[in-house]
Structure 1
């Protein structure tokens, strides 16, 4: 039985209702996007859907992993009223998101055509659909970092038992998105709708930062800026290297089939990872060492676990 008078129940309701309202506002924004896209060239709605799905993939895999790991830390620090520790943990989350998101955004931008072609171009999804989707991916990718930072900062608010502020800013972001939709859809077609989403995310994350700074004090802006410019430089080097490599590969194989292009794309992506890693090392990015330490610990833990399982099997034998 549910005790409707339980203070815990009321607290959960108080926290979850703003999240539901913000989600509803987001759905209204999607409806407006589709309504405007329906008046554009045929295939615009599909291009937006596929483009959004592709750019959301890095967020779902990497950034959500960062927020999932950090959220319990945020919650514990907020519960202990340790604002200094909370700020440090948030800065770490922001820097990790910057380190992961900017190179992925650059990679999506410079390889958007072959990525879309390899993933989607078959059947009714023809070269024109590829071109339209790649066009949307370009503008969605510009908002990848703000979207990632918004996820991290929102978790800090949630840890502080505040879902109202992210809700209000989420609704405001939807309003900004809708206004920008009408402004940008004319000159940029469905790309304008994607760009409006990216700009609205940037506006939302700037305000989230500003409000949080007033609540908990300085947020380590210099540290985040230092990480931003160094990651941007490493990503630019990576992007230039990948573009040069792709032109070389497509010069050797001007009309590759599906499997060959998929192979060339894999080579280009792997080369991009190597270039970015080397550039990050030369620029002294601490996130690279943290990432290597994390992977090293994960591998050691996996080997220890496998060794333990093997030992138990031998013992049973």
Structure 2
């Protein structure tokens, strides 16, 4: 447990750095391009290949981990790694070439509105094509990131993703005057290649894969039989985001950008807490399933849900209260105006429900993948896409852009409810009493925090402060109130954290 705890801490820190760098990327884009039509076209066009990127990147990791464990116990781990890497490269290369070739036709079909902008179709086509080109190595990178996770090297896996983000930032800062918005997809493509080279150097060519080994087509086919539903499930969120962009592009210039900036901002806690906790519990679940320890599997899911909610609940409540100064701090400046801040803040509040529900779903999904029941998630995901299309259509008509953000939260709620009840049924059930008890404590503590923050925020001295100083004070007060309330309510996650901290200090 000691090694896993250290690996978990390193992973949490590396995830913070990844999301921090991702947020810097969004800040750079907002200040350089604001909510212009170029930004709209870029954000909308990149969602198409990015659905496949997430399909390969996250889906591959989730499918590879239990598969690798199974073969490694038979002494065939390296052979299995080699087979999946080689098979994935050829599949990814084919997708890359085809996707890049059809990009001009694809963007004109999906986003016909971009034709009214000067160079609109051109920017969209090249953005999509460059992201498609990157897929040739994205798949291979994803396999190795899954391999690093299997070795409890979570932080290295996250570091390799951070490299891609940093290259995108660097390209935008250095070449935006020469290349304009094209500097963003070019930077991503370069970053994907650099991430691959780092893995090759780190493992060394001899340990990277067995170069002489012939591909075992039957083994690759068996793996992809498990992978497809997992990957499609992971891509559901991006497909739903693409649906949002499809409707947003029809609502005028700047709407796509405002919605994207809002989504990226509220997605930070989901990636830090929801995805991090889900990733950490995944090896525990996979190990429990391999040992046929059903009790450990159930406890892993329960703890994942409880810990996730304990961190997410106050974050969502706090962001609701502090959204405008958060948007000001992260985005406002350069090409991003005060009007853009107002619109982005409004949309972000309606997106917050999706943060909570998709974080719950991230933990639940690990249970399905561990049980090799990814096809359940795929079916539910397909239902959510249909629901999202109708929800976007109705709510955007009734409420405008705000309706698109609200739709994401509603669909997330439906998605998480169906997946939880399904996993509950096929796994034999969880302790709803313990989950509900701890959720109640987190909700009560969050409400106490909210009441204090609203009162403090109404004080004249606080209201007149610069928004950054205002945020620092309010976040500090909120954290103290929340954890004090959890302590008084005897929250199990907090007790365990304090107990482990005491053990570390005493040792």
TM-score of the superposed pair, with normalisation by structure 1? 0.86
1:127 corresponding residue in structure 2: 338
Contact 1:26–1:171 (Cα < 8 Å) also in 2: no
1:18 corresponding residue in structure 2: 229
Unmatched tracts of structure 1, length 5 or more: 305-317
Deviation at 1:26, TM superposition (A): 4.1
Instruction: Give SS of 1:143's match.
Output: helix
1:62 corresponding residue in structure 2: 273
- 1:156-305 correspondence runs (5 A): 156-248=367-459, 251-252=460-461, 256=465, 260-296=466-502, 300=505
Bigger Cα displacement from structure 2, 154-163 vs 61-70: 61-70
Contact 1:108–1:137 (Cα < 8 Å) also in 2: no
2:256 corresponding residue in structure 1: 45
1:99 is aligned, of 298, 304, 310, to 310
Deviations 1:123-142 (A, max 9, x none): 22112211111111111112
Instruction: Give SS of 1:284's match.
Output: coil
Deviations 1:225-284 (A, max 9, x none): 112222111101111111222222xx226554xxx3211211100110000011111112
Distance 1:143 1:24 in 2: 16
Deviation at 1:25, TM superposition (A): 4.6
- Residue 87, structure 1, aligned to residue 293, structure 2: no
1:155 is aligned, of 366, 370, 374, to 366
Over the residues paired in the alignment, what is the CA RMSD in angstroms?
2.0
Contact 1:51–1:133 (Cα < 8 Å) also in 2: yes
Residues 92 and 43 of structure 1: CA distance in aligned 2, closer, same or farther (over 3 Å): same
1:142 corresponding residue in structure 2: 353
Deviation at 1:112, TM superposition (A): 0.4
- Residue 73, structure 1, aligned to residue 284, structure 2: yes
Distance 1:27 1:68 in 2: 19
- Name the count of aligned residue pairs: 295
Unmatched tracts of structure 2, length 5 or more: 1-212
Deviation at 1:187, TM superposition (A): 2.8
Distance 2:358 2:236 in 1: 17
Higher relative contact order (CA 8 A, sep 6+): 1
Contact 1:184–1:193 (Cα < 8 Å) also in 2: yes
